[in-house]
Structure 1
Amino acid sequence: MNEISRKIEVNEAYLREQFSDCSDVVIRSFQLKDETKLLLVYIDGMTRLQSIEDNVLKPLIFSGLPQGMDRIQSLAGMFSQEWIPLTDVKTDCTLENLVQHILQGSLAILVDDAATALIAQVQGYETRGIQEPKKEATLRGSKEGFVENIRTNTTLIRRRIVHSRLKMESFTVGTYTQTEVVVTYLKELADEKVLAEIRDKLSSIKLEGVLDSAYLEECLENNSFSIFSQIQNTERPDIVAASLLEGKITLLTNGTPFALILPVTLWSGLQSADDYFERFIFVFLTRIIRYILTFVSFTLPAIYVALSTFHPEMVPSSLMIGIATARENSPFPTVIEVFLMMFIFDGLQEAGVHLPNQLGPVVSIIGALVIGQAAVEAGIISTPIIIVISLTGVAAYTIPRYSATLPFRFIRYLLLFITGWLGFVGFAFGIIFLLIHLVTLESFGTPFLSPLAPFDAKRFKDVIVRYPYRFKNAQNKKGRQT
């Protein structure tokens, strides 16, 4: 690395070369009363200009060198003592590090005849304020959500876990973006093996840029080709705090409001934050309904095709006659009808997601009503298909996390095709292969179906039944003592 020269002209030439064609980089030179040359370098828009003027420029230009208990004879002496009226100040001796500090929004101060530079933390760029999470809204609970500023996010966690065992390790990822990633965990609760694995993977990531936590998600997963994500993402600080108390590890990425939680299981994506804010008796009923409807969301179309096409004897005669009558004028086989309606329904859903907030729900609802009604009246689609796809869509909406619905949407199409080919035999093969994949899948050493497979009675209490907090805490204390 290039060391900072004692000649300020050499340092200025290097910095001007590095920041050539950068109109937002300010390089200003000054001369004090004693004719000492001074160089200030910062990025306009990323620093607090008022702080620079009040704490650096005015004191040095008008008042001269600061004097304390020991008289400071030169700016070099001031630099060696890191004296400047700002809270976070440090020195650096290499030009490469100096450039990185400037790009991160710091103020660099260089002086003639000094081989070090003073780095002042005066970042002051605009950030979004704390708002209610839109993707994970709750009826009862905190209305605070993460923002793009990583320091704001770490503060939101510190406010909830006030303990010195809460650790936050910083990493830099991305060749060009130099994105800060903070690994957060509770010491003595988090698994040290998982921590070591995360540190190694973060240190070995070779990406040109990291603009979102999703970039890290694929690099950290044990099985990137699985349709199930082995890392949970959330924008709620209370969910992160609860996960840390359970011994999990979270990753905060600068520039994104979504934190990553690991390790996770299949049940993590099916649990809502409201499950922990309502009475446990009601939560038990809600979870039972949610799990049943989750199964319905990816199996109902395939089951309908199998019953109506391959196994009509399993359906009551009166119901089967009604279905056959409704399909009398339909020009397509049942499996094609179901596929078309599923495709249209998913297309309307995607359109509703990407349209502006005012138009999205209108297009989704009106589009589904108009297209469905027109298709039935034209004889293209039969009425039972509309009912099946509508129930499937409603069942999918009971899954609290959008990212958790994506694997089940993919499985829905796979089961439909294999069932349309082999009937219930194909449906059974599809479910068996799905269970085999889930049983063999792991998230940082944690089986994806745990505590169901392998069965763990102590941890199973928070899968279907949420125990009262006093019993849960008592059990945790007992487990730690043993």
Structure 2
Amino acid sequence: MSFFKKKTKKRINQSSLDHKDERNEINEDMLRTNLNENIQHVKQLLGNSSDLVIREIQIGKGRLIKACLFYTDGLVDTNSIQNYIMKSLMLDDQDLLLSSEQNIVQVLKDRILAVGDIQDVTEFSSLMNSLLSGDVILLVDGYSQGFEICMRGGKDRGVMESTTETVVRGPKEGFTENLRTNTALIRRKIKTPHLWLESKKIGRETVTDVAIMYIDGIANDKVIKEVHRRLDRIEIDGILESGYIEELIQDEALSPFPTVYYSERPDKIAAELLEGKIAILVDGTPIVLVVPALFVSFIQAAEDYYQRADISTLIRLLRFFSLFIALLGPSLYIAITTFHQEMLPTGLLINLAAQREGVPFPAFIEALMMETAFEILREASLRMPKAIAQAISIVGTLVIGTAAVEAGIVSAAMVIVVAITAISSFVLPSFAMSMSIRMLRFPMMALAASFGLFGILIGFIALILHLCSLRSFGVPYMSPFGPFIKEDIHDTIIRVPRGRMFFRPRLISQKNIRREQTLKQDRQKNVD
């Protein structure tokens, strides 16, 4: 019995020690009343970094009050600090003849400081987070409470046209690396008060600001909760780009198809929000994530909704046709020339046989070499300086293709097939989907070389089954084709006139699904 009593007593003592350590940590994190101690502690936390600016001042006329400003050089707007903080605190005509009973900190906040966004701070952890985010910290001697004053500024890239999603007709603005600029660009498009914004900080070391935007009353509440759940479970030391978030919240890590959509066009993100989707914005990148993502979303472009319905439909049909060429072009050539020559006209078959007479490799090896060479050229053109990238890519392609044909390594027909396939992959609006198709092209070529058209059919069926099994935040990836929803087909492969797009996607927005009234109702109102 004495052994159990000692063990219980030991546990109680250990628990009390743990509570004492927690209290000590909390006390260590609280601001001191002595200003010099606060200054020394901030310097110690930042390792006496040279970009930390500490400005000690005295305010008041009759009774001098010692105060101090902290800010990080390069992250703040220094002109605003001079005009709205320093002048407010140091002018001789300020009425600061305060008695010892008055709360000087409260008087500064209510009467003196001519700034709008100002928050109380009582902990060093909150102080450091705001200081390194571009806020100005004001501490007063004798008080364990200070202010976080929003004066964020510094150099950043202005709003420019998107370089990856260009349009002939439509807005020319794109997102920037500044989170507040990006949220403002979306609010300019959607001015409803139901556009809600929720913020999080992710990353132990980077403490990156992440914002979630959605339209209350249109977005699905279950999807919103799922987005919060997946973001809250992220435990990582740093978030440097939205790709970190995408990889950590996606549904299928091993699938070649992207299950999170992204764009750098504000009009595209605004349109997705109106569909009931949720946008995830990350500070420091112009790429905004959208969930849930559907397969058809990667084939659609923002310009589809700025043209007439018939023109947009023809362009979409062209994109789907280009997708099949980019995926199956070399595979069909390999299968037909290797196993199914009877499908070709006699004249064409004779020409192809004459071209391949001196080629020492089978069609699969021939296609594999040309596809690999083109991928190398494409990747090199992305990494080279822009002044020479275009010239090198064009000259390299022409020289390599012509030299390979003349040397008898590949046939001229194979060069044509590979060129058409590469051009077709550029037709897809989404770079993520284009990369997936380029990657899947190689296993389809292997199936075609092994089993001919039957191998292509088997690979295509497996691909369709995989697509139908995917989910993006609980929404079927192939919706509205699988499951089939008749009302949502009007904005997939084809686009009906805008006056007939009555409803939002059923599986995404389950509230407030009616988007437009029917033309008959409008005409009846006009008659009345």
Question: Normalised by the shorter chain, which TM-score bucket?
Answer: over 0.9
SS at structure 2 position matched to 1:170 = strand
Structure 2 counterparts to residues 195-344 of structure 1, below 5 A: 195-344=224-373
Residues 279, 68 of structure 1: CA spacing in aligned structure 2 closer, same or farther, 3 A cutoff? farther
- TM-score normalised by length of structure 2: 0.87
SS at structure 1 position matched to 2:189 = coil
SS at structure 2 position matched to 1:184 = strand
1:5 and 2:32 are equivalent in the alignment = yes
SS at structure 1 position matched to 2:415 = helix
1:40 and 2:69 are equivalent in the alignment = yes
Amino acid at match of 1:27: I
Q: Tell me which of 36, 51, 54 is aligned to 1:24.
A: 51
* Kept after mapping to 1: 8 A contact 2:309/2:498: no
1:351 and 2:398 are equivalent in the alignment = no
Q: What is residue 408 of structure 1 aligned with on the other side?
A: 437
SS at structure 2 position matched to 1:185 = strand
SS at structure 1 position matched to 2:410 = coil
Rounded to whole Å, the distance in 2 between the matches of 1:439 and 1:68 is: 74
Q: CA deviation at 1:9?
A: 2.0
Q: CA deviation at 1:68?
A: 11
Rounded to whole Å, the distance in 1 between the matches of 2:107 and 2:70 is: 18
* Kept after mapping to 2: 8 A contact 1:43/1:105: yes
Amino acid at match of 1:358: A
Rounded to whole Å, the distance in 2 between the matches of 1:396 and 1:479 is: 35
Superimposed CA distance per residue, residues 287-308 of structure 1 (whole angstroms, 9 cap, x where no aligned partner): 1121112111110111111111
Superimposed CA distance per residue, residues 380-439 of structure 1 (whole angstroms, 9 cap, x where no aligned partner): 111111111111112112112222101100110011112212222322221121111101
Task: Tell me which moved more, 248-257 or 393-402.
Answer: 393-402
* Kept after mapping to 2: 8 A contact 1:82/1:90: no
Rounded to whole Å, the distance in 2 between the matches of 1:47 and 1:284 is: 49
Q: Tell me which of 147, 163, 169 is aligned to 2:176.
A: 147
Residues 219, 474 of structure 1: CA spacing in aligned structure 2 closer, same or farther, 3 A cutoff? closer
* Kept after mapping to 2: 8 A contact 1:312/1:320: yes
Residues 329, 469 of structure 1: CA spacing in aligned structure 2 closer, same or farther, 3 A cutoff? same
Structure 2: 5+ residue stretches without partners: 1-25, 506-511, 518-528
Rounded to whole Å, the distance in 1 between the matches of 2:409 and 2:213 is: 55
* Kept after mapping to 2: 8 A contact 1:149/1:256: yes
Rounded to whole Å, the distance in 2 between the matches of 1:403 and 1:292 is: 18
* Kept after mapping to 1: 8 A contact 2:176/2:182: yes
Rounded to whole Å, the distance in 1 between the matches of 2:158 and 2:216 is: 30
- TM-score normalised by length of structure 1: 0.95
Structure 2 counterparts to residues 182-193 of structure 1, below 5 A: 182-193=211-222
* Kept after mapping to 1: 8 A contact 2:503/2:515: no
* Kept after mapping to 1: 8 A contact 2:67/2:139: yes
Identity %: 34
Structure 1: 5+ residue stretches without partners: none
* Kept after mapping to 2: 8 A contact 1:76/1:113: no
Q: Tell me which of 120, 123, 129 is aligned to 2:158.
A: 129
Residues 67, 28 of structure 1: CA spacing in aligned structure 2 closer, same or farther, 3 A cutoff? closer
Q: CA deviation at 1:83?
A: 4.6
Q: What is residue 362 of structure 1 aligned with on the other side?
A: 391
Q: Tell me which of 123, 134, 145 is aligned to 1:105.
A: 134
Residues 3, 69 of structure 1: CA spacing in aligned structure 2 closer, same or farther, 3 A cutoff? closer
Rounded to whole Å, the distance in 2 between the matches of 1:13 and 1:320 is: 84
1:440 and 2:440 are equivalent in the alignment = no
Rounded to whole Å, the distance in 2 between the matches of 1:266 and 1:471 is: 22
Q: CA deviation at 1:474?
A: 7.2
* Kept after mapping to 2: 8 A contact 1:82/1:118: no
**How many residues align structurally?**
482
* Kept after mapping to 1: 8 A contact 2:294/2:478: yes
> Cα RMSD between the aligned structures?
2.3
Residues 309, 82 of structure 1: CA spacing in aligned structure 2 closer, same or farther, 3 A cutoff? farther
